[in-house]
Amino acid sequence: MSKNKETKEMIASATTNALAVGGLSDTLEASDIDIPRINVVQKTSDITCRDGEPAPYGSIVLDKRFILAQPEEPIKVTPLMATKQWREDIPFDSDEVPRIAGTIEEKNKLALDSDYNLLEFAEITFLFEGDDDVEAFPLPLGKKNYAIGRINVAKDAYRQTFKRLATFAMYNKKTPPHERVWNLTSTAITRGKYSWFAPSLSITTDEPSEEVRSFVEGFMQP
């Protein structure tokens, strides 16, 4: 093969795998999508926001940079995806990495093989309604800007978020959770001498806009 022909083929191959102007190539995979993490700031959290200031205790923070809501302050969200899993309930200060089960069959096998109890947890992805800060809310849908974020919840946070979504879905067969706007709030919890903040969901009577509905339907496609 001539060097000129080889160069042309390399360019053609690179073009096939490149992002096209005005559209995306069909070689994109799920791993190419970057969904930032959501954190509820605790006393021991080390999160410095984009202004260089520490994130307030109890605030909800996106990508460890953007404060979405102050403590006890609700922010409107639309749930996009919620996945329940199980993991070994290993002590917090242990160096051991917990094993994870993603199905009931895997959970039953792990329970037989593990020396630990299994802990329910969930990954929940939300669409956050925002303001004109396009760096924090880069998705324009209709007349408003939005951001996508994903949070990992267990224990109290699991009960106050995933279980509420699951309960709503169980008893509202005609109205999936993503067809309602929810409020996400960080709520204070105190037990004995310990206190912390955990995310909490509450339903509203508001419905997502048509633009948000279309986005959600596209997001949920396999």
Q: What percent of the chain has pLDDT over 90?
A: 80
Low-confidence ranges of the chain (pLDDT < 50): 7-21
| pLDDT, mean over the chain | 89
pLDDT of residue 1: 54
3-state SS, one letter per residue, for the chain: CCHHHHHHHHHHHHHHCCCCCCCCCCCCCHHHCCCCEEEECCCCCCCECCCCCECCCCCEEECCCEEEECCCCCEEEEEEEEEEEEEECCCCCCCCCCCEECCHHHHHHHHHHCCCCEEEEEEEEEEEECCCCCCCCCEEECCEEEEEEEEEEECHHHHHCHHHHHHHHHHCCCCCHHHCCEEEEEEEEEECCEEEEEEEEEECCCCCCHHHHHHHHHHHCC
pLDDT of residue 15: 40
pLDDT of residue 31: 75
pLDDT of residue 106: 97
Question: The whole model's pTM is what?
Answer: 0.85
pLDDT of residue 16: 42
pLDDT of residue 19: 47
